[in-house]
Amino acid sequence: MATTFERTASGAIIYKAAKPRTYPQLDLLTLLFDTKIHVDAVDPSKAITKAQQRQLVNSTAYTLRHRYGIGQSGPDNDVVLCISSGHWLLPTLFYSTIAAGGVFTSSNPGSTAWELAGNLAQVDAKLMFCNEDTKAVAIAGAKLAGLPLSRLLVLGSRPAFELSEQENGDAVPVSPANSLGWERITDRSALENSIICVLFSSGTTGKPKVCRLSHANMVSEATLVIDVHRDVYRRQGREFVYNTLAHLPTAHIAGVQGYFVNPFYAGGTLFWMARFDFAEFLAHAKRHPITSFFSVPPVFLLIAKSPLVTDQLDAIESAVSGAAPMGRELQAVARAKLGHGRAHLSQTWGLSETTGSMTMRPLDVPDDTTGSVSMLLSNCEARVVDDGGRDVEPGSPGEIWVKGPQVTKGYFKNDAANREAFVDGWFCTGDIGFFKNDMLYIELIKYKGNQVAPAELEALLLSHPKILDAAVIGVAGADTEVPRAYVVADPKAISAEDIAAWVGSQVANHKKVRGGVFFLAAIPKSPSGKILRKDLRELARKDAKKSKL
């Protein structure tokens, strides 16, 4: 923290911190017990404090156990599925399910009734939560899956927490007079082998895989990330403030770990949006100054390019991009829009199976300008292997295998997937990357020595009104790797040549899609929305073989 001084008219020399901060005008006990942790971004009067959250979790857990039997037969058995748009009371459902001894899972609010029914059946869900935004699809999905509507609970907040059974509209009794405390677990084996959350993960055909997450997974992920930030602030003599804005779906690890767990552990306030809208996002960021921010490359592209961005993001001190690599040029332009250009902007890498981040860049380490996804977290290990599972030399690319306390123990009721995903205790991520100067690089295309981030080109392609979806990979050119685009679009409305020319007019020379533009009916993705580039690389290899015949 910088110190300045000034001379007064009387000749006094006064030293002070260069950057003043505001602090709450509250009594001590109100500060400690009534700190708001989850707040409706539109109506901040809808909020819950730490003290209220604990009481509400215990009361709701009691109802889940004694009215619906969740956890009645022991922990790790009864799955409760949630399908909802963003809501400031969603964390209560997550915490209460775990406290009752249940297992939490979540479906994308954009799911169809058939997709939702498949999710319900796959995990044998005993209960389902929804909110008003998702009630119609929840009812249809429950009927298809054979889940009684008496076991579909609708979340409301008029103005406080309320649940009602869809079958008859009756209010579900949740009273402070009834309380169920959660089981305190300290045995290491029990913590590692517990199942408190399952998330739908990759799978392009048939049923998606469902990864199991334990107490140990989620605790290690929260502490290994947040404690590093907290230590940096402590060393610098600064107050650690972790206020952020929930704008991503809670059906994926970024929402579950990133919104339900990490901000609460950090002691911050989380402001909830129902769904992402960029103009509203900026308005909320201005109204509720956020200090910490995690998002994905398409959002950072909007921040970098949109004229709507002025001073709304000036309070941000640290920002992280994940889900896909971000090009270093985009990273530099986006950073200039955050915190008066002084925010720490880094990239992270991870999966649902790793409970989120496996890498991070501490706040006291200068920003990376090379396009890396940062360094491995403490207690994490990685290998880089070729197609035969043999370790490659440092600096060479290959598939990344990982170990660590946040890595899943396996998939839910899927021994075949477990055999495929694990080799001698190492989790095979399927992602291609390499280590250089202690940093990890993922999926970067190298065109004549220049780095091209697939995510940046994908975000550009998606901005075209005639392109519904897109993915970019690197393929072998005559003497270098070149970008290739796969798009979902009507070839009668726009040609591959038109798309390539349009991209070329928008980007630097080395980013042109020299590998061609190819049309697909659908981009292969995991249920969490992650592009399955391994499938696209295999498709490119098959096309290359055909062209040689």
Q: Percentage of residues in the chain with pLDDT exceeding 70?
A: 93
What is the predicted pLDDT for the residue at 260?
A: 97
- Distance, CA of 26 to chain centre: 34
Summarize pLDDT for 92-114 with one digit per residue, the tens. 999 999 999 999 999 999 899 99
Asked whether residue 323 is assigned to any structural domain, the reply reads: no
pLDDT (average), residues 520-547: 81
The residue written with tokens 């250009």 in the block is 341
Separation CA 505–CA 31 (nearest Å): 54
Q: Is the model's pLDDT at 20 over the cut of 80?
A: no
Cβ atoms of residues 134 and 107 within 8 Å: no
pLDDT (average), residues 34-46: 92
* Residue 504 CB partners (closer than 8 Å, separation 6+): 512, 513
Q: Is the model's pLDDT at 203 over the cut of 60?
A: no
Report which of residues 134 and 531 the model is more confident about.
134
Q: Is the model's pLDDT at 15 over the cut of 90?
A: no
Helix (H) or strand (E) holding 107: strand 103-107
Q: Is the model's pLDDT at 531 over the cut of 90?
A: no
What is the predicted pLDDT for the residue at 205?
A: 44
Asked whether residue 21 is assigned to any structural domain, the reply reads: no
Separation CA 470–CA 489 (nearest Å): 9
Summarize pLDDT for 443-491 with one digit per residue, the tens. 778 787 676 878 789 888 988 999 999 999 989 887 788 999 999 999 9
> In which domain, by residue range, is 543 found?
451-548
pLDDT (average), residues 239-255: 93
Q: Structure tokens of 89? A: 């009371």
**Nearest 10 degrees: CA dihedral of 47, 51, 52, 58?**
140
Contacts 24+ apart (CB under 8 A), 278-281: 278/302, 278/306, 278/308, 279/308, 281/245, 281/247
Cβ atoms of residues 59 and 175 within 8 Å: yes
Asked whether residue 52 is assigned to any structural domain, the reply reads: yes
What is the predicted pLDDT for the residue at 29?
A: 61
Asked whether residue 291 is assigned to any structural domain, the reply reads: no
Domain boundary among 210, 242, 270: 210
Q: Structure tokens of 329? A: 């040029």
Q: Is the model's pLDDT at 204 over the cut of 50?
A: no
Nearest to 474 by CA among 485, 460, 463: 485
Separation CA 349–CA 320 (nearest Å): 10
Residue 254 binned pLDDT confidence (cut-offs 50, 70, 90) = very high
40: left (phi over 0), alpha (psi -120 to 50) or beta: beta
Q: What is the mean pLDDT of the chain?
A: 90
Separation CA 446–CA 475 (nearest Å): 10
Q: Percentage of residues in the chain with pLDDT exceeding 90?
A: 70
Domain boundary among 163, 190, 210: 210
Cβ atoms of residues 180 and 61 within 8 Å: yes
What is the predicted pLDDT for the residue at 123?
A: 97
Pairing state of beta strands 13-17 and 36-40? unpaired
Indicate the DSSP class of residue 411.
Answer: B
pLDDT (average), residues 44-66: 96
CATH of the domain at 460: 3.30.300.30
CB atoms closer than 10 angstroms to residue 7: 9
Cβ atoms of residues 433 and 359 within 8 Å: no
Please count the structural domains in the chain.
2
What is the predicted pLDDT for the residue at 167?
A: 92
Summarize pLDDT for 256-277 with one digit per residue, the tens. 999 999 999 999 999 999 999 9
Summarize pLDDT for 370-389 with one digit per residue, the tens. 889 999 999 999 999 988 89
pTM to 2 decimal places: 0.84
Residue 497: burial class (beta carbons within 10 Å; 0-12, 13-18, 19+): exposed
Least reliable range by pLDDT among 194-208, 292-306, 391-405, 452-466: 194-208
Asked whether residue 512 is assigned to any structural domain, the reply reads: yes
The residue written with tokens 């790793």 in the block is 354
CATH of the domain at 155: 3.40.50.12780
Least reliable range by pLDDT among 127-136, 144-153, 528-537: 528-537
What is the predicted pLDDT for the residue at 544?
A: 81
CB atoms closer than 10 angstroms to residue 448: 11
Asked whether residue 333 is assigned to any structural domain, the reply reads: no
Separation CA 346–CA 331 (nearest Å): 8
Asked whether residue 279 is assigned to any structural domain, the reply reads: no
Domain boundary among 195, 210, 225: 210
Separation CA 434–CA 394 (nearest Å): 7
Q: Structure tokens of 56? A: 């509400």
What is the predicted pLDDT for the residue at 32?
A: 60
Contacts 24+ apart (CB under 8 A), 188-194: 188/216, 191/215, 191/216, 191/219, 192/216, 192/405, 192/409, 193/409, 194/75, 194/76
What is the predicted pLDDT for the residue at 1?
A: 44
Asked whether residue 123 is assigned to any structural domain, the reply reads: yes
What is the predicted pLDDT for the residue at 14?
A: 64
Cβ atoms of residues 150 and 142 within 8 Å: no
Q: Structure tokens of 44? A: 């901040």
Residue 311 binned pLDDT confidence (cut-offs 50, 70, 90) = very high
What is the predicted pLDDT for the residue at 535?
A: 87
